[in-house]
Amino acid sequence: MAPGWPVRGLTVLYDANCPLCVHIRHWLMGQRRLVPLALVPAASYEARRRFPRLDHASTLKEITVIGDSGQVWTGTDAFIVCLWALAEHRPRANWLATPAGRPFARAAMYTASKWRQAVRTEGDPQDLEEAACDDHCSVPR
């Protein structure tokens, strides 16, 4: 991301086959946001349509967030960016981005990743897209 480029919107690609990811999606949508969020199932038709050059297989392995100017964050950085977009959690995100806070963000992501691996179901993201995609998705019916 070039310095000084404002972020006016974020797209969060989440694993629609993971109960934790779906829970976090609902939690994010219920928060007051300082930056608009679109939540789209990873590796879905909509994700591939919006971001054709992205490695979609990798988006199923870790959270991926895309900024409106093409910025891409994954893993711990994506987690911090999601919090940064939320009114109540921006101060926490700013702290988690510091050298003092980053180990806590990494530990949270590591824990979530291990839990996710244990509960994730196999399936085609396209099967879950209609039910999981937010109102901004243009899913073919």
Whether 86 maps to a domain, the answer reads yes
**Count of domains in the chain?**
1
**What is the predicted pLDDT for the residue at 129?**
46
Give tens-digit pLDDT for 22-38: 999 999 999 999 999 99
| Mean pLDDT along residues 49-63 | 93
Residues 6+ apart with CB under 8 A from 117: none
Calpha distance 36→116 (Å, rounded): 26
Calpha distance 111→71 (Å, rounded): 25
Whether 66 maps to a domain, the answer reads yes
Give tens-digit pLDDT for 85-130: 999 999 999 999 999 999 999 998 888 777 767 776 665 544 444 4
pLDDT of 136 over the 70 cut: no
Q: In what order do the strands lie in the sheet with 64-67?
A: 37-41, 10-14, 64-67, 72-74
The answer to whether 134 touches 40, Cβ cutoff 8 Å, is: yes
Calpha distance 83→96 (Å, rounded): 9
**Selected residue with higher pLDDT from 137 and 49:** 49
**What is the predicted pLDDT for the residue at 65?**
97
Q: Could you tell me the residue range of the domain that residue 17 belongs to? A: 10-132
Give tens-digit pLDDT for 6-15: 889 999 999 9
pTM over 0.85: no
Whether 113 maps to a domain, the answer reads yes
Whether 112 maps to a domain, the answer reads yes
Whether 4 maps to a domain, the answer reads no
Q: In this structure, how many other beta carbons lie within 10 angstroms of the beta carbon of residue 70?
A: 11
* CA dist list (Å): 101 to 3, 75, 76, 104, 112: 22, 15, 11, 6, 17
Whether 93 maps to a domain, the answer reads yes
Whether 103 maps to a domain, the answer reads yes
